[in-house]
Amino acid sequence: MEFNTHIQVSAAKVKTSALAVGVFADGILSPSADVIDRASNGAIRAVIKTEFSARAASTLVLRNLPGVAAQRVVLVGLGKQSEYSLRTYARAELAFAAACVQARVGEATSALASIACAGTELRERARAGGAAVCEATYHYDSTLGKPDPHARPKLRKFAMLVERADAAKAQHGLREGEALGEGMSLARTLGNLPGNICTPTYLGETAKSLARSFKSIKVSVLDRKQIEALKMGSFLSVAKGSDEMPRFIVMHYKGPQPARRAVKAAALTAEGPVVLVGKGITFDSGGVSIKPAATMDEMKYDMCGAASVIGTLRAAAQLELPGEVIGLIPTCENMLSGRANKPGDVVTSMSGQTIEILNTDAEGRLILCDALTYAERFKPSVVVDIATLTGACVVALGSVNSGLFSTDDALAGALLAAGRQALDPAWRMPMDEAYQDQLKSNFADMANIGGPQAGSVTAACFLSRFTKAYRWAHLDIAGTAWRGGKDKGSTGRPVPLLLQFLLNRKPG
């Protein structure tokens, strides 16, 4: 996708295949819509009186309007002006781009970002708009025997109509939106690929390919023997049930280093890298504690935490963000075999703590805990792990909010704020010390589950036992990383939240 800006001229004079202008539900036209309306002798006002309600994200295409240079004017509904928000704007831009994809146009121009939106700057709107266009043009056909070339979006050029004084801000935002969109698209494709293709080895090769594309990324992929040398007994206990070899992927992004005097003395700009830890179970059968058959195919998405880490580092490298980000990805399959974990088994983690495995389907925490111990060697400023960890989180929060767990108020606040900015929300869940009692075991230092109550909370409490050396937060994305049913597919979340978190930490 090629993003650009058009310096504001009369909207009626913009030559483009499709031009988006906004209309509010209360009959108010945006400035560009008003210009088009006047040039076309009231064509827009006539239409909204009879057939366009301007409901948020609705569209109506007007062709060959007199006095208008654009081949198509796409009216985009913005809802009530009093309720207009960044989320409404992003939905509007997504709806316009989707209309352009359906119309099979190759280039388009939008005047939507120039509409004032309370509490936002143009750069934010341009970033959200760029990401929305990337979402609308995402297309998966990697595993189709005969991909239909006509199904692939033709839209390749997208411009925003802005004032000359705002062009630099808009271009900056579009650049960020493009990087975010590319990172999300990579994460989505990794999630959508089937488990027989997207194996632990495949994830490792994908990470290596990023290192070849971006000199700022270095990658090491550890094999079973190297993982054994690290004494990651908890991780390896999950991996041993599968014929697929486990991998431990270490991605190290190192951006340009700012002058020390430019670094703000704030709690969340402390020295030390940000470490992102992503759960990479490329297929989760549940093991001996086997999952129900009906939707087990969706367990290929159990590596979406890993995919989000890879996508976020790609976006950071494309934007050349300053500072360091480490991506740690323990990846394997959770399968049934004569070697697989059994309920009642006791394993020893890299930290030396022992774990009684009461449920083999609570395997994500078993691979994450060793990665969290490994993270200590980087002396991180913060560590955030991302995992499709618990069905209990889906019950609690559905598909709207990711679950956020942390005992660090400042870190939790920064992540929540980033989620709101990026339109990728999270909701903070409790981590009271009393929940730790549910993890007691008579035969090990802890059990890997805490019983039927507060399942997502006790999972986070389990992970917290391996994070005493640094500031830590956990994102449970089981409800937000993919959609099921007829819209089945990976969403790319929480790449927007994670990238925004890194952007907000940007020194200077």
Query: Does residue 264 fall inside a structural domain?
Result: yes
Query: Does residue 314 fall inside a structural domain?
Result: yes
CATH of the domain at 79: 3.40.220.10
pLDDT at residue 8, rounded to an integer:
75
* Domain identity same for 202 and 107: no
Query: Does residue 336 fall inside a structural domain?
Result: yes
pLDDT at residue 61, rounded to an integer:
97
pLDDT at residue 267, rounded to an integer:
44
Question: Would you place residue 1 in the very low, low, confident or very high pLDDT band (cuts 50, 70, 90)?
Answer: confident
Query: Does residue 169 fall inside a structural domain?
Result: no
* Domain identity same for 12 and 54: yes
281, β-bridge pairs:
332
Position 209 pLDDT exceeds 50: yes
Question: Would you place residue 271 in the very low, low, confident or very high pLDDT band (cuts 50, 70, 90)?
Answer: confident
* Domain identity same for 266 and 159: no
* Domain identity same for 223 and 135: no
Distance CA 88, CA 487 (A): 21
What type of residue is 483?
A: R
Position 390 pLDDT exceeds 70: yes
What type of residue is 262?
A: A
Query: Does residue 464 fall inside a structural domain?
Result: yes
* Domain identity same for 111 and 23: yes
Distance CA 240, CA 287 (A): 11
Which entry of 175, 291, 483, 506 is annotated as an active-site residue? 291
Give a three-class secondary structure readout of 35-95: HHHHHCCCHHHHHHHHCCCCCCCCEEEEECCCCCCCCEEEEEECCCHHHCCHHHHHHHHHH
Q: What is the percentage of the chain residues whose pLDDT exceeds 70?
A: 97
DSSP string, 264-318: ---GGG-SS-EEEEE-EEEEE--TTSPPPSTTGGGGGGGGHHHHHHHHHHHHHHH
CATH of the domain at 470: 3.40.630.10
Q: Give catalytic status of residue 291 as yes or no.
A: yes
Kind of pairing, strands 472-476 and 402-405? Answer: antiparallel
Residue where the block lists tokens 């979406």: 304
Query: Does residue 176 fall inside a structural domain?
Result: no
pLDDT at residue 264, rounded to an integer:
44
Query: Does residue 174 fall inside a structural domain?
Result: no
Among 126, 221, 246, CA closest to 179: 126
* Domain identity same for 470 and 332: yes
Position 112 pLDDT exceeds 60: yes
Contact 358, 318 (CB under 8 A): no
Domain count of the fold of the chain: 2
pTM of this prediction? 0.95
Compute the mean pLDDT over every residue in the chain, rounded to the nearest whole number: 95
pLDDT at residue 259, rounded to an integer:
59
Question: Would you place residue 449 in the very low, low, confident or very high pLDDT band (cuts 50, 70, 90)?
Answer: very high
* Domain identity same for 13 and 108: yes
> Among residues 116, 134, 163, which one ends one of the domains?
163
Which entry of 72, 169, 300, 365 is annotated as an active-site residue? 365
Report the pLDDT averaged over residues 156-180: 96
* Domain identity same for 158 and 194: no
> Among residues 128, 163, 198, which one ends one of the domains?
163
* Domain identity same for 189 and 318: yes
Residues 415-430 have pLDDT tens digits of 999 999 999 999 999 9
Q: Give catalytic status of residue 175 as yes or no.
A: no
* Domain identity same for 500 and 444: yes
What are the residues whose beta carbons fall under 8 Å from the beta carbon of 311, sequence distance 6 or more? 183, 184, 185, 186, 187, 190, 492, 495
pLDDT at residue 261, rounded to an integer:
44
Position 236 pLDDT exceeds 50: yes
* Domain identity same for 448 and 414: yes
Q: Which domain, by its residues, includes 109?
A: 2-163
The rounded Cα 311 to chain-centroid distance in angstroms is 8
pLDDT at residue 270, rounded to an integer:
53
Query: Does residue 441 fall inside a structural domain?
Result: yes
The rounded Cα 43 to chain-centroid distance in angstroms is 40
What type of residue is 232?
A: M
pLDDT at residue 257, rounded to an integer:
78
* Domain identity same for 234 and 333: yes
